[in-house]
Chains A and B, each alone.
Chain A
């Protein structure tokens, strides 16, 4: 991490940063006013061109992505993502490959050769299939409009490679962007990227509407992100990206206006979406909790609860936030929330374990033993059976 920032960034990291156009702007697509002509379906550049060289390098990244330990390999879920892409872009779907990666932040990214990465943080946050389609449509827009190529050529022409090296590191999640000078340069480039983001937004909302999705979903997902980041004021204030990239409100308003023009038709397919992500939802929730971004996560979990009231798994996650945060009155709040969880539909057995931990810390040993026993009854193969049993024995 820190040591890596002292070394020259690897070619792979630089290419990741240069080539991927992503939704959030963390890996902002660096716009150029001289746009490339849009792609034709089935297009492949010749090997002797700069574009051919770019594709060749990205194909190596794609091979690494394909075998990544962070890749979610659930066949049904991957097929589902491919179906959405096919629905959004019947013309180009055969040219694109989607990879779902276990990364608990909101993002998706598109590479010039048709590789699309979708992060689990996006899957957790999308309210329905329409919201996910809005993001995937946006990424398809980057692809068909060849924004990565524009960005690549623009970087070469402007000789801004040092800035891109640092952006490459940031894009690859490697670490700090660099010193203040570089940060300011990067901030300037974020402002410069808006043209491409606007264009991708426009393509995305058009594609999703044609595919039968409700167009308002595109602006909604931005509003949800704004709500989360506003809840996390400390981190937001520390983020130069937010400070220099105040385009969220503007993008949301533009998307909303566009959706109003397109009408109120379309479907969200919320039930189908929830069913499809069911197999990985608890893992995604656990990954979110492990970030320990309590305020931000609380906004997310409470929103998800509004969408599916009485969901024991979500109520458990809310209680976990209180238990881990351990602020004033949090443990009491956690306890009553666990109690709601275990009485709701589909609570995870871990709710009983956490309830027992709080009761134990509070010296209520009999209640703790009962909770721990319930946990072990519900999860007889629990890998932490030994330590839980020891808690019970000590209490007795």
Chain B
């Protein structure tokens, strides 16, 4: 396990959607009701908010972790507008209209978009969604999906996403972590947050 943790930490710079500035400060998220990125959620344990993400989105964005940003974490994306990328690396000036959300996309197409976005940001070829099915999310009809990806640090990571399109905007919460330990260890707490989520903005 020590070797595993070392590998995972070594790969911090390449972890999914988690591009953090050096010396990024964290702030405590208490085990209570919290407002985050256009969601109101109930946390049953304390989390840590990463304050300086090196990702950007047209929508409010937040990232929480329990054990460390390269080990597990939950990304909140609160309402991506039609024609905008779901998320991208800050300062990425690529003239790229390929990875954008379009109102009217099906769940299948949104998961395809998430696969391609993950592949680009994490510089990986192994990024696959599965088990897409309808689910209530954010107090409305949405869907959920499982996810598997391998970052360039060669660590297998698992993820679970819940999403919905409301008023033409995409709302997504995605929890992921190292497959062997940090994903299963915090999945229950992550799910409680996701299932409690209400859309506020």
Contact = CB atoms under 8 A, between A and B. Distances in A.
Nearest to A172: B152
Contact of B108 (A7, A64, A292, A387): A387
Given A69-B126, A292-B99, A293-B98, A390 B133 contact: yes
Q: Bin chain A's interface residue count.
A: 35 or more
A70 B90 contact: no
A180 B127 CA distance: 32
B130 A360 contact: no
Contacts of A325: 98
B187 interface: no
B121 interface: yes
B2 interface: no
B143 A1 contact: no
A386 interface: yes
Given A1-B121, A357-B108, A390-B133, A290 B116 contact: yes
Nearest to A384: B132
A324 B113 CA distance: 9
Contacts of B109: 357
Nearest to A121: B125
B119 A290 contact: yes
A383 B96 CA distance: 30
Interface in A1-39: 1-4, 6-7
A294 B116 CA distance: 13
B13 A1 contact: yes
B54 interface: yes
Nearest to B98: A292
Contacts of B90: 2
Contacts of A70: 125-126, 150, 154
Contact of A104 (B54, B91, B125): B125
A2 B89 contact: yes
B156 interface: yes
A324 B130 CA distance: 19
B154 A69 contact: yes
Contact of A387 (B98, B121, B143): B143
A390 B102 contact: no
A182 to B, nearest CB: 17
Contact of B19 (A1, A64, A326, A361): A1
A178 interface: no
Interface on chain B toward A: helix, strand, loop, or mixed SS?
mixed
Interface in B47-72: 54
Given A103-B125, A287-B125, A324-B98, A6 B14 contact: no
A6 B22 CA distance: 8
B29 interface: no
B37 interface: no
B21 A3 contact: yes
B108 A384 contact: yes
Contacts of B120: 291
Interface in A225-268: 234-235, 238
B150 A69 contact: yes
B136 interface: no
B107 A387 contact: yes
Contacts of B112: 324
B130 A384 contact: yes
B108 A353 contact: yes
Interface string B159-182: 000000000000000000000000
B32 interface: no
A199 B102 CA distance: 50
A279 interface: no
A102 interface: yes
B140 interface: no
A387 B133 contact: yes
B36 interface: no
Of B13, B54, B91, B96, most buried by chain A (CB within 10 Å of CB) is B13
B58 to A, nearest CB: 18
B125 A3 contact: no
A192 interface: no
Interface in B1-43: 12-14, 19-22
A357 B123 contact: no
Contacts of A287: 125
B139 interface: no
Nearest to B121: A1
B108 A294 contact: no
Contacts of B22: 3, 6-7
Nearest to A388: B108
A173 interface: yes
B143 A4 contact: no
29 contacts: A1-B14, A1-B19, A1-B123, A3-B20, A3-B22, A4-B13, A6-B21, A6-B22, A7-B22, A69-B126, A69-B154, A69-B156, A70-B150, A102-B126, A103-B125, A234-B95, A235-B94, A290-B115, A290-B116, A290-B119, A291-B120, A292-B96, A292-B99, A294-B98, A324-B112, A361-B104, A384-B131, A386-B131, A387-B143
Given A4-B14, A292-B99, 11 more contacts: A2-B13, A3-B20, A3-B22, A6-B21, A292-B98, A294-B98, A326-B102, A357-B106, A386-B133, A387-B108, A391-B106
| A-B interface, 6 closest residue pairs, ranked by CB to CB distance from nearest | A292-B98, A4-B13, A386-B133, A387-B132, A3-B13, A383-B130
Interface of A: 1-4, 6-7, 64, 68-70, 102-104, 173-174, 234-235, 238, 287, 290-294, 324-326, 353, 357, 360-361, 383-384, 386-388, 390-391
